[in-house]
Amino acid sequence: MKKIFDDFQNKIKRNSLTRDDFLREDLFPMFHNSYSNAFVKRIADCENPIFEQGEDKYIFHIPLDEGWEVRLDFICENDKYKLADLDSYTLPLKKVDQLPFNDYIPLPERESIMRQEYAITRTVDYYVRLKEIIGKQEALNWFRDGKGEKTGVSAWMPYFTKRKAFVAYTAWMQGRIYGEDIYITEFSEERSELLFKNSSWLFLYKVAGHLKHMIPYGEYMELFETIWKDRALWNEYNASFSYEGEDIRISLAT
C-alpha cells in the first residue's frame, strides 16, 4: 500500500497536486501556502512512513521532532486514492474488542494542548459565525467574559485582596486546568504581570492549519486581547500586551 503514499509524494515533488487529490476542499490550500512549506517538505522527504490500515482508511505516519508526527489518511473514492485528513494528533484507540468498553490509553504529553486546540477552535468558530450575522464589533463583544471570571475569582480564591486574587486565580486555572506554562512575574494590587511561556494561543496558530483558514492573524490576536482586557477590567486592572516569539506577557496596572 506504500504506493498510495509514493504517488502522493511524487506529486508534491512535481508540484502537480490538484484539488482532485483531496477529499476535503480545505486541505488543498495547505499544500500551496508558504506557512505550510516546512511540513510539506517533511512529507516530500520521508522515505519510510509507518503504515497502518483502518477500517476504511490507509494511514501513514511521518515522525517529526520531539515526539510529534504528521499523519496522512487516504480514502479510495471512485477508484482514486484521495487525502482525507492530515493531522499531528492520533488518539490511541485502535479497536473496541469487548463491550462494555472503557479502556482509554492516556496521552499525558499531548492532552493539554489538545484541550486548548479544541477550546480555541470552538472560540474562533463561534466568533467567525457571529461576525457574519452581527458584525465584527458585536461578535467581539460576545467574548467579553470578564463578569463570569470575576465570579470565579470571588468564589474560588479567598486568600488575596481582590486584584491579586484575580492574578492568582488566572495563573492557577491557566496552569492546572488548561495546561499553560504560566508565571506570575509581578504581584501587587497596583501592578501585576502574567507571562505565558510558549502560549497555546500563539503556538496553535503557528501549527494548526485550519485556524489560518478561519481567521487572519491580526484578527485572531484582537480576539485574544479583547477577552483578556475585559477580564482585567472586571477585576479593576488595565491590561497591555507584549510578545516575544510564542511568549505572551500581560501587564496589569490600575
Task: Check: CB of residue 164 under 8 Å from CB of residue 189.
Answer: yes
Residue 246 backbone dihedrals phi, psi, to 5 degrees: -100, 15
Going by pLDDT thresholds of 50, 70 and 90, the confidence category of residue 35 is low
* φ/ψ of residue 107, rounded to 5: -125, 75
Q: Where are the domains of the chain?
A: 2-87, 111-253
Q: Whole-angstrom Cα distance, residue 177 to residue 111?
A: 11
What does the pLDDT read at residue 36?
65
Cβ neighbours of residue 33 closer than 8 Å, sequence gap 6 or more: 212
pLDDT for 34: 61
Backbone angles phi, psi at 243, to 5 degrees: -130, 140
Query: What's the average model confidence in pLDDT over 3-25?
Result: 93
DSSP β-ladder status, 247-253 and 69-77: unpaired
Q: What is the pLDDT of residues 209-252, one digit of tens each?
A: 789 889 999 999 999 999 999 999 999 999 999 999 999 999 99
Mean pLDDT over the full length of the chain: 94
The residues pairing with 163 across neighbouring beta strands, listed in sequence order, are none
Phi (first) and psi of residue 192, to 5 degrees: -140, 170
Q: DSSP string spanning 19-77?
A: GGGBSSGGGGGGGSSGGGHHHHHHHHH-SSPEEEE-SS-EEEEEE-GGG-EEEEEEEEE
| Region 1-18 average pLDDT | 93
Query: For residues 96 and 105, is the Cβ–Cβ distance under 8 A?
Result: no
Residue that has been written with the C-alpha cell 477529499 in this structure? 23
Q: Could you give the CA distance from residue 92 to residue 83 in angstroms, rounded to a whole number?
A: 21
Per-residue pLDDT at 235: 96
81-125 confidence digits (pLDDT tens): 999 999 988 999 999 999 999 999 999 888 999 999 999 999 999
In the prediction, which pLDDT does 237 show?
98
Which of helix, strand or coil describes residue 166? helix
The length of the chain, given as a count of residues: 254
Number of continuous H segments (helices) and E segments (strands) in the chain: 9, 8
What grid cell was written down for 229?
482586557
The closest of 121, 118, 109 to 68, measured between CA atoms, is 109
**What is the average per-residue pLDDT within 133-146?**
97
Per residue in 155-168, pLDDT (tens digit) is 999 999 999 999 99
When the candidates are 3.40.50, 1.10.3470, 3.30.1380, 3.30.70, the CATH number that belongs to 111-253 is 3.30.1380
Q: What is the pTM of this model?
A: 0.87
Residue 25 to residue 30: CA distance in whole angstroms: 10
- Residue 22: closest CA among 70, 69, 74: 74
